[in-house]
Amino acid sequence: MSNSPQIFTTIAEITDWRRKARGQIGFVPTMGALHEGHATLLRQIRSRCDTSVLSIFVNPTQFGPKEDLSKYPKTFERDLEIAAREGVDFVFAPSPTEMYPFGYSTFVEETSRSLPLCGKVRPGHFRGVTTIVLKLFNLIRPDLALFGLKDAQQFFVLKKMIQDLNLGIRVEGIPTVREKDGLALSSRNAYLSGEEREKAPQLHQALLRIKENLKTHPSGASFTRSLEQTEKDLNAQGFQVQYLECLEIPELKPLKDGDPIDPTRPLCIALAAYLGKTRLIDNIILNEEHLQV
| Whole-angstrom distance, CA of residue 232 vs CA of residue 237 | 9
Q: Which string of b and e fits 28-53 if b means at least 16 CB within 10 Å?
A: bbbbbbbbebbbbbbbbbbeebebbb
41 versus 49: smaller Cβ distance to ligand PAF: 41
Taking the complex as a whole, how short is the minimal distance between the CB of residue 269 and ligand PAF, in angstroms? 20
- Contacts with ligand PAF by CB under 6 A lie at 29-31, 59, 62, 129, 132-133, 151, 154
204 is catalytic: no
Q: DSSP code of 239?
A: E
List C-alpha distances in Å: 171 to 15, 29, 204. Answer: 21, 11, 26
Active-site residue among 38, 125, 217, 290? 38
Element (H, E) at 132: helix 125-140
CB 129 within 8 A of CB 62: yes
129 versus 270: smaller Cβ distance to ligand PAF: 129
Measure CA 21 to chain center: 27
41 versus 234: smaller Cβ distance to ligand PAF: 41
Taking the complex as a whole, how short is the minimal distance between the CB of residue 134 and ligand PAF, in angstroms? 10
CB 259 within 8 A of CB 219: no
35 versus 43: smaller Cβ distance to ligand PAF: 35
Taking the complex as a whole, how short is the minimal distance between the CB of residue 25 and ligand PAF, in angstroms? 17
Q: Cα dihedral sign for 111, 116, 120, 122?
A: negative
Catalytic residues, by residue number, are: 38
